[in-house]
Amino acid sequence: MAIYDVITGNDAAAWGARLSKVEVIAAYPITPQTTIVEKLAEWVEKGELNAKFIAVESEHSAMAAVIGASAAGVRAFTATSSQGLLYMIEMVSWAVGARTPVVMAIVNRALGPPWNIWSEHTDALMTRDTGWIQFWAANNQEVMDSIIQAYRVAEDKKVLLPAMVMLGGFVLSHTAMPVKIHDQNKVDQYLSPYEPPHYVLNPKISEAFAYGNILFPWDYAKVRLSIEKAMRNAVDVIKRAAKEFHEIFGIWHGDLIKEVNTDDAEIVIFALGAVAEQAEATLEVLRRNGIKVGVAKIRVFRPFPKEEIAKIADKASHVIVIDRDISFGWDGILAGEVKATLHEYKVDTPVTTKIMGIGGDDILPEHIEKAVKEVIKK
């Protein structure tokens, strides 16, 4: 049966991997991610999780190890943050082209220099064009549940792409919240064992073959097109996975987007992860003061929910995008995507960008209220 516990976001990520019955874990420490793999190591050592735990020599090796495990036909997991993600970036790209549906937790942390260990979204958003599916969690329950859903989506035969689950450094990773830890039998009902539809690197069950060999341009283009088709297929798979998760577990985090009070909203705030939940916390005060504000939490950044964003924005008088990141010389990364989407769908709702919380700086309710009131004055 399900149990309830007060746990950190990192422990919730570890529980998501445990309930998904991962078979290989590759681990390399980096603050603030380290306690995820430490918890998994503890369970493996105690015999509570039947998995191979590989302590590798670098983040690059961690991703290489889980790619190899997935290519051999088993469910694999790793986790990292910030500089560690950048160090493994070569293999991050490789995981996509190899069509290995590994899942990785990323505890968002600012990039150096100067050295900083606090939350910022730029690390994961820099990987947006690699071909990974991206889930952004707003609370610890969603961290655990998104990892389970990520395996369901990534391993779908219409997708077969790796997936990231993001949680804010310290904001979620080291903050304890009540979490419902699901019954293993129900998780097994939701998430079947991994059965790759292609040849696996196992000499006992397949003949020798080349894997990831060099291709001429005309064949390489076909491979990249297949990845794009898979990412587009992921849209419906994510929606179905979220719906079935709700039916089995009674929990709804949204599918591509979660909307709060957007139906009658004159101003809609778009944000990722815990920032969106912080924005939700301001709604009651603003609405008591007669300001009709709604929040659209973008739960999945890739594939980007363009159609859903355009429909929400089209009903509003103004859009505010809160970014905990920056693309230097351009804009907030999420804001740039939202603006491009509205241009594509011919939605003329004005968009205001607010960049907050860089390097872990606090994002407080009064900051969000101020952003809303500034828009009203325009």
Residue 217 phi, psi (nearest 5):
-55, -40
Residue 208's pLDDT band (cuts 50, 70, 90): low
Decide if pLDDT at 191 tops 90: yes
Helices (H) and strands (E) in the chain, counts: 13, 14
CATH superfamily of 3-249: Thiamin diphosphate (ThDP)-binding fold, Pyr/PP domains (3.40.50.970)
Question: Is residue 43's pLDDT more than 90?
Answer: yes
Q: What is the CATH architecture assignment of 257-377?
A: 3-Layer(aba) Sandwich (3.40)
Q: Is the pLDDT of residue 204 over 80?
A: no
pLDDT tops 90 at residue 344? yes
> pLDDT tens for residues 286-340?
999 999 999 999 999 999 999 999 999 999 999 999 999 999 999 999 999 999 9
- pLDDT at residue 166 is higher than 90: yes
Q: How far apart are CA 308 and CA 318, in angstroms?
A: 16
pLDDT tens digits for range 70-114: 999 999 999 999 999 999 999 999 999 999 999 999 999 999 999
pLDDT tens-digit profile of 1-42?
899 999 999 999 999 999 999 999 999 999 999 999 999 999
pTM of the model: 0.97
Q: Where in the chain is the domain with CATH 3.40.50.920?
A: 257-377
Instruction: State how far the Cα of 274 lies from the Cα of 253, in Å rounded to an integer.
Output: 12
pLDDT of residue 19: 98
User: Which pLDDT does position 20 carry in this prediction?
Assistant: 98
164: which strand partners? 104, 134
In the chain, which segments carry CATH 3.40.50.970?
A: 3-249
pLDDT in tens, 228-281: 999 999 999 999 999 999 999 999 999 999 999 999 999 999 999 999 999 999
For the segment 104-154, what is each residue's pLDDT rounded down to a tens digit? 999 999 999 999 999 999 999 999 999 999 999 999 999 999 999 999 999
pLDDT score recorded for residue 213:
83
Instruction: For residues 267 and 354, give the distance between their C-alpha atoms in angstroms, rounded to a whole number.
Output: 14
pLDDT at 202: 73
Q: Find tokens 């297929």 and name the residue.
A: 233
